[in-house]
């Protein structure tokens, strides 16, 4: 399979509460872009309304550690007391089918993905400010005061990593952030198409 035919791997990171899930849902509802969401595995307890196999695959720590041992994860990280990871089989199979795969993961995991898939597209979603980030995570109402504090502490470390990404997109408004990500993905497809054409021409000349 040529570089062009394989799907594009898109990695979206950003601090907890910045709006990754909200922007992703907006992006996935767009008719002119087709992305496949990679459902992560986690040891975190489900939030109200979260469904196993839709939002996450919810596992015990023992089950998760077994997945690590059996090399079933493309990447994994411990984030604020819980494990999170990306099942490798789904990502590989879907990319092979020529479909684009979308990962929504924190920064430690994203850096592991970069080592395995350096050609992936890395996008960091940034909040307009730290105070707005705090407001969003508090307004969501899914975490205790202690967990919000820990997630905001992690957010400061994550924001320092944004330079390691190919693009930084501000999530000031969901629709705008969604359009910006769409434009980045479409531009990357055009670039890959041109590289593939040039490569094909080169082979014809030889
Ligand atoms: N542009 C925005 N303006 C105002 N509120 C927003 C915006 N984007 C998202 N929100 C709100 O912020 C809260 C957090 O959003 P969301 O759950 O999507 O964040 P997240 O980055 O996926 O968080 P986590 O990493 O913890 O899962 C939600 O209540 C959401 O409605
Ligand atoms: N490294 C990974 N991080 C992941 C994965 N799935 C989700 N996440 C990130 O964890 C935090 C917390 O998520 P929450 O649902 O508890 O709010 C957030 O930044 C997610 O994007 C994964 O597979 N690997």
Domain ranges of the chain: 9-38+99-204
**Residue 162: C-alpha distances to residues 84, 95, 150, 167, 179 (Å):** 20, 25, 19, 8, 20
Separation of alpha carbons 194 and 58, rounded Å: 41
Separation CA 8–CA 145 (nearest Å): 38
The predicted-structure confidence for 77-131, as pLDDT tens digits, reads as follows 999 999 999 999 999 999 999 999 999 999 999 999 999 999 999 999 999 999 9
For residue 4, the model assigns a pLDDT of: 47
Helix or strand or coil: residue 1? coil
CA-wise closest residue to 19 among 164, 180, 144, 161? 180
Share of the chain above pLDDT 70, in %: 98
Model ipTM? 0.98
**Nearest residue (CA) to ligand 2, atom 19:** 106
Residue 173 near ligand 1, beta carbon < 6 Å: yes
List, for residues 28-86, the tens digit of each pLDDT value: 999 999 999 999 999 999 999 999 999 999 999 999 999 999 999 999 999 999 999 99
Model pTM? 0.95
Give the closest residue to 57 by CA, choosing from 70, 44, 74: 44
The CATH T-level fold of domain 9-38+99-204 is Rossmann fold (3.40.50)
Count Cβ atoms below 10 Å from residue 74 Cβ, excluding itself.
Answer: 22
Confidence at residue 196, expressed as pLDDT on a 0 to 100 scale? 86
- pLDDT of residue 21 exceeding 50, the answer is yes
Average confidence score pLDDT of the chain: 95
CA of 95 to the centre of ligand 2 (A): 21
38 lines ligand 2 (CB under 6 A): no
């Amino acid at each position: 399979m040529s570089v062009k035919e394989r799907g594009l791997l898109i990695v979206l990171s950003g601090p907890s509460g910045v709006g990754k899930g909200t922007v992703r849902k907006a992006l996935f509802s767009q008719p002119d872009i087709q992305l496949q969401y990679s459902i992560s595995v986690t040891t975190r307890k489900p939030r109200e309304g979260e469904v196993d196999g839709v939002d996450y695959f919810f596992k015990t720590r023992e089950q998760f550690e077994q997945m690590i041992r059996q090399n079933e994860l493309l990447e994994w990280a411990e984030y604020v007391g819980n494990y999170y990871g990306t099942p490798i089989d789904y990502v590989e199979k879907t990319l092979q089918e020529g479909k684009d795969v979308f990962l929504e993961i924190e920064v430690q995991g994203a850096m592991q993905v970069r080592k395995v898939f350096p050609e992936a597209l890395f996008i960091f979603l940034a909040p307009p400010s730290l105070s707005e980030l705090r407001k969003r995570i508090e307004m969501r109402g899914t975490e205790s005061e202690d967990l919000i504090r820990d997630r905001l502490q992690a957010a400061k470390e994550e924001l320092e990593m944004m330079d390691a990404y190919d693009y930084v997109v501000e999530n000031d408004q969901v629709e705008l952030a969604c359009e910006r990500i769409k434009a980045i993905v479409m531009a990357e497809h055009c670039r890959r198409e041109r590289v593939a054409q040039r490569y094909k021409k080169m082979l014809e000349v030889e």
